[in-house]
């Protein structure tokens, strides 16, 4: 079996202090969540980053590349 190809993509690491807090079209669980930037629109990213109830950092994550 061939080894899956892995690539790095940009993502947001979001920490919420409250379970179920909603911003950017999603409910955030209490604690840390990492989501690829491709999951959001530019407007959603701006709203998440501007929200004082969330701690947000841009990170890179490794994901399995789609088979061609």
pLDDT in tens, 15-60: 999 999 999 999 999 999 999 999 999 999 999 999 999 999 999 9
**SS3 call for 31:** strand
- Measured CA to CA, the distance from residue 68 to residue 54 in angstroms comes to 37
Domain residues for 55?
19-61
Residue 68 lies in a domain: no
Q: Is residue 43 part of a domain?
A: yes
Residue 48 lies in a domain: yes
User: Is position 28 within any domain?
Assistant: yes
Whether residue 68 is predicted with pLDDT greater than 60 in this model: the reply is no
Output the pTM of the full model.
0.83
Q: Is residue 4 part of a domain?
A: no
Give the SS3 label for residue 63: strand
């Amino acid at each position: 079996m061939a080894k899956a190809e892995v690539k790095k993509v940009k993502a947001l690491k979001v920490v919420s202090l409250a379970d179920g807090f909603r911003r950017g079209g999603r409910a955030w669980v209490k604690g840390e969540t990492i989501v690829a930037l491709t999951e959001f629109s530019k407007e959603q990213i701006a709203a998440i980053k501007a929200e004082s109830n969330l701690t947000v950092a841009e990170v890179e994550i490794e994901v399995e590349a789609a088979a061609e």
